[in-house]
Structures are given as C-alpha cells and as structure tokens.
Amino acid sequence: MSILNAIILGIIEGVTEFLPISSTGHLILASGLLKIQQSNFVKSFEIIIQLGAILAVVVLYWRSLITNWEVMKKIAAAFIPTGIIGFILYKVVKHFLLGNTAVVVWSLIIGGAALIVFELIHKEKSDALEDVAKISYPQAVAIGLFQSLGIIPGVSRAAATIAGGLILGLKRKTIVEFSFLLAVPTMLAATGYDLLKSGSSFTGADWLPLFIGFLVSFVVALVSIKWLLNFIKKYSFVGFGAYRIIAAIAFWLIIL
C-alpha cells in the first residue's frame, strides 16, 4: 500500500467512523476504487486504523472514561456481548466479509432504507433518558447486542448502536455519546486481537502506511465528532440513509 493510499483511507476512516454510514464499508469500497489488492494486511489495515479514529474519543471524553465509574461500568456491560460475538465470528468476518464488496453494497442499501424508515416513524419521548451514567445494565447489554450487527461490513456500528439506543428510550445526543464511548473498548479489542493473529505476517514496509493511516484517521476524527454532535441537534439521519443508498448504487454502476 502506498503512502498516498494510506492518507486517503485515513481521511475516509476519520470522516465516516462515527457517522451512520459504515466506515468499514467505505474503506472496502474505497480500496476497490483505488485498485488496492485485498490481502491479509489490507484487511488488518481496515480494522486497525479505526482505532486511530477511536482514540479521538479518548482525547475528547477522557473525563467520562477515567473519572466516571458508573459510565465505565455501563460501557463494560455493553462491550461484553459485542466482544463475545466478535470473538466467535472473527474468522468469518476476516476471511469472508471484509473485502466483500457485494456484502458492503447490499448492507449499505438495506441499512440506508431501514435508517430512513426508522427516522420517519421514531418519535423521541419527552422523558427519554438524558444521562449516560443512568443507562441501566439491561439497556447497556441490549445496546451491545445492537452494536454487534456492525461486524457486517456496510451495516455501520454507529447506526446499529444509535438506532438501538433510540429504540430503548435514550435521547439522541445521549446514545450518540454512548456510541462514541463504547467504540473505545470495542476497537481496542478488535485491533489487539487482529494484531495478535496477523501482526507477525506484516512486512517492514507495511508498518509506515499503517502508522500514517492511523494518525490521519485520528486527526480527522477529532473534527468529525464535533461536527456530528452539532449536526444531531438540528437534523435527523434521513440524509445519511439516502446517502448510503446513492453511494451503494453509484459504486455498483461504476465498479460492479
């Protein structure tokens, strides 16, 4: 992988990680457009640079992660189902789903349509939960189960988590912030496990583009998070649903 490709993919990851449009799906489609040959390293790259974007959450929300014990316990509870499912399905995801453009295209289309329908019928209640620390343990575990749908490229971890939280009665800003925080242990575990399984196969030339993609995704994500928090105060996610469908069809027509 060239340095330029690593920068481009890092930018895409930083922009899309926290939006309900699937960062993994966009990385796979972008790799196809850039003619990057799918390999074990490229699949690992697409997993690991997500941690760069996630570290932006640590920088912006370190107080919640370090000083608020109640929030940390709820994040741990939500991570458990995701961690178990991710561990069990790791080989399936790594060898059959990552890099599969057909899976991404259909996931974007179906997920986009579902997101539009959900936003049109969902009405936030006046007593919706506002405080992340007051999320119950059953709610946290349920959110973790929703997040697990994001292991399918194109589904979007953020979209699944946010929709799940809204269904469970959380305010939009609350579940968006919880989704940010839950991403930290999720991607730390995913990256650590992938490095354990695949890191020894990386060549010396692989580490520089990996570091650059990681760093670029971190910097871009700092801006992306702040933008999304401002966006959700005024708008729904219908536009993202429409974008998913249009992007998938455009890729289908151009590449497939």
Q: What is the rounded average pLDDT for all residues in the chain?
A: 89
Number of H helices, E strands in the chain: 11, 0
Residues 5-48 have pLDDT tens digits of 999 999 999 999 888 999 888 998 898 888 888 888 988 998 89
Per the DSSP assignment, residues forming a β-bridge with 170 are: 129
Please state the pTM of the whole predicted model.
0.86
Alpha helices in 67-154 (DSSP H): 69-88, 90-92, 101-121, 137-148
CA–CA dist 144, 141 (Å, integer): 5
For the chain, how far is it from start to end, CA to CA, in angstroms? 22
Residues 169-195 have pLDDT tens digits of 999 889 988 998 898 899 889 899 888
- Structure tokens that stand for 54 in this block: 């996630």
CA–CA dist 112, 120 (Å, integer): 12
> Is the Cα torsion angle 88, 89, 90, 92 positive or negative in sign?
positive
Whole-Å CA distances, 130 to 170, 202, 214, 225, 246: 7, 44, 32, 19, 33
Confidence of residue 256 (pLDDT cuts 50, 70, 90): low
Domain locations in the chain? 3-254
Confidence of residue 234 (pLDDT cuts 50, 70, 90): confident
Residue type, 27: L
- The DSSP secondary-structure symbol of 67 reads T
- The DSSP secondary-structure symbol of 39 reads -
Confidence at residue 66, expressed as pLDDT on a 0 to 100 scale: 66
Q: Is the pLDDT of residue 134 over 80?
A: yes
> Is the Cα torsion angle 149, 178, 237, 60 positive or negative in sign?
negative
Confidence of residue 81 (pLDDT cuts 50, 70, 90): very high
Q: Is the pLDDT of residue 160 over 80?
A: yes
